[in-house]
A and B are shown apart, each in its own frame.
Chain A
Amino acid sequence: MESLHPFSLPLSELAEIPFTGSKPKPTPETMHFWEGCKNGKLLLQRCPDTGRAYFPPRPFSPFTGNRSVSVFEASGRATLHSYVIHHREVPGFTPPYAIAVVELEEGPRMMANIVECPQTPEALQLDMPLEVVFRPVDDSISLPLFRPLKEGA
């Protein structure tokens, strides 16, 4: 039997595979986001003037410059906005694999991988519903990834 692509595996099995890709290094302005991921929470920030959520993290509103922003936990639901399926070897990744951008229910978009899903154009339909999962890669970093939203979830 052909072995499954790592991104097709259940998250629990993917999490067993050591991550050898590029690890993020948090800064003071993004530390809360990565702390959140470690604790299984996708944290966004909200502009106090417009009420709009934004990403990536920064301690002021990109819409008005107001520094009195709040941090809140996102629903974790998203849709698949766009992607490529890369066919070459990259450290830490098994080709072919999708590099995707998802649109969060709250509005912001973020890059991610789509897991528990075949890495094919047929399986990866634009606007398909997704939900966030977290892949621990070391003691301090868990990467936010997305998987197809299960029926009835």
Chain B
Amino acid sequence: MAYKPGSVAVVGAAETSRIGVVPDMSQIMLHADAALNAMADAGLQPKDIDGLACVGQMMPQQIAHYLGITPRWVDGTGVGGCSFMLHVRHAAAAIAAGYATTVLITHGESGKSRVNATPRPPEPESLAGQFEAPFGPAGPATLFPIPVLRYMKATGTTHEHLAMVAVVQREWAAQNPRALFRERVTVEEVLASRMVAYPYRLLQCCPVTDGGGALILTAAERATDFPAPPVYLLGSGESVETTMVSQMEDFTSSRAFRVAGPTALKMAGVSHADVSHLMIYDAFAHLPLYGLEDLGFCGRGEAKDFIWEGNTRPGGKLPMNTNGGGLSYTHTGMYGMFALQESVRQVRGTAPAQVPDVKISVAHGVGGMFSSSGTVVFGKERP
């Protein structure tokens, strides 16, 4: 059974107490720290939670037991860094179906300190192990940017355009005390930073950090009974394509984006002009360009100029990645939770770099290079 736009709301939202480098917390404790903060935000205790979503195999069991939750609905969808967008979508459907009343979604990742972190062994029998790994990729910094040169050639995007993405996001991060990197940078400084994997230099790649976040969702009918103003879920979308970046259908556009984004906007019944705030998961500098175009905020090849001309920077007409983004705020490995948290803060009116009068916020996520996508549309008012 589908949920109706506005029938489910976020009533609790929080990140871990500390973020960035947190070597004194294991990965499961980062989940719990965020969950406890979100429950405090909503005035709830573990006994009040009857639905639980977290990323990956066996994780719902571990988190339920650790937090003392007895769920009657669980979701372990793990499709990479946008899994939380899918959890929100699935949780809303579960609430509408009566499978749960109060769903907790948690994320914790010791990406930097690697305390009890999930290992990622390459499987030489997997398709990626056979047809990508032998050619020397070493993690996301070598795989995620592989389509970039093709995108640049197809759209006339330059190295300077891609540097500007990092520059603008640092302007937002400068206003956020919790951001990992807060010093403003110039296009020249980005292009002078250390080469990581051509065409990308260090400042065009996200850091790897420790942290977590949690959300609590319930039916809109109950949502006004909680301490914080409700943030209504207006629409959502999801899709997957391939875990092998070499096998993407089109190197200049993500098929998963083109399914998830428009599905969410259509469900919400909002036009692009209605969107007052946008989060596009930016593990690397090209992702906001793909997101702006694949979600229809910009025409083909126009995202580079849209950003260059200042539309997404503070004071621009479409403020984007206002926490500083994965590039400057934090990136634990699965940043989608932090994009959702910033959307909730912006709609609540509690963000460090608050955009005036946010009525509609879109949080768009990517996972496992371009392998998956999830989009969530939040609103201040119940339609």
Residues of A within 8 A of B (CB): 21-27, 30, 34, 55-56, 81-88, 90, 92-93, 96-97, 99-101, 109-113, 121, 126, 137, 143
Inside 8 A of B195's CB, which chain A residues have their CB? 87, 96
Q: Is B198 located at the chain interface by the 8 A CB criterion?
A: yes
Residues on the A chain within 8 Å of B119, using CB: none
Residue of B nearest to A54 (CB): B247
> Which of A27, A55, A88, A111 has the largest count of B CB atoms less than 10 A from its CB?
A111
On whether the beta carbons of A30 and B130 are closer than 8 Å, the reply is: yes
Residues of A within 8 A of B143 (CB): 99
In the complex, the answer to whether B196 meets A88 with C-beta atoms within 8 Å is yes
Instruction: Find out whether the CB atom of B136 lies under 8 angstroms from the CB atom of A93.
Output: yes
B251 touches A24 (CB 8 A): no
Complex Cα gap A12–B134 (Å): 19
The answer on a CB contact under 8 Å between B149 and A126 is: yes
Q: Which residues of B contact A86 (CB under 8 A)?
A: 136-138, 141-142, 196-197
- Say yes or no for B145: interface residue by CB 8 A criterion: yes
Set of chain B residues within 8 Å of A88, measured between Cβ atoms:
138, 196-197
Q: Give bound CA distance, A26 to B134, whole Å.
A: 12
* Complex Cα gap A82–B147 (Å): 6
Report B-chain residues with C-beta under 8 Å of the C-beta of A92.
136
Known: A86-B136, A99-B137, A101-B246. A24 touches B131 (CB 8 A): yes
Contacts of B199 in A (CB 8 A): 84, 121
**Interface readout for B147-163 with A: 1 if CB under 8 Å, 0 if not?**
11110010000000000
Residues of A within 8 A of B150 (CB): 81-82, 126
Cross-chain contact A21 with B136 (CB below 8 angstroms): yes
| A112-B135 in contact given A22-B129, A82-B150 (Cβ < 8 Å) | yes
Residue B124, interface by CB 8 Å: yes
Residue B315 interfacial (CB < 8 Å): no
Residues of chain B within 8 A (CB-CB) of A96 are: 195, 198
Residue pairs across A and B with CB atoms within 8 Å: the count is 111
Bound together, the chains give a CA A34 to CA B125 distance in angstroms of: 12
What's the minimum C-beta distance from B8 to chain A, rounded to whole angstroms? 36
> Which of A30, A113, A121 is within 8 Å of B136, CB to CB?
A113
Residue in A closest to B249 when the chains form the complex, CB atoms = A109
Residues of chain B lying within 8 A (CB to CB) of residue A24? 124, 129-131, 133-134
Scan B229-259; emit 1 where CB is below 8 A from any A CB, else 0. Answer: 0000000000000001111000100000000
Task: Please give, as numbers and ranges, the residues of chain B lying within 8 Å of A121 by CB-CB distance.
Answer: 198-199
A13 to chain B, nearest CB (A): 18
Q: What residues of chain B lie closer than 8 Å to A85, measured between beta carbons? A: 197-198
Nearest CB of A to B269, in Å: 34
Alpha-carbon separation in the docked complex, A56 to B246 (Å): 10
- Would A25 and B198 count as touching, CB distance under 8 A? no
**Cα–Cα, bound, A88→B198 (Å):** 11
CA distance A27 to B130 in the complex (A): 9
B132 beta carbon closer than 8 Å to chain A: yes
Chain A residues with CB below 8 A from B247, complex form: 55-56, 109
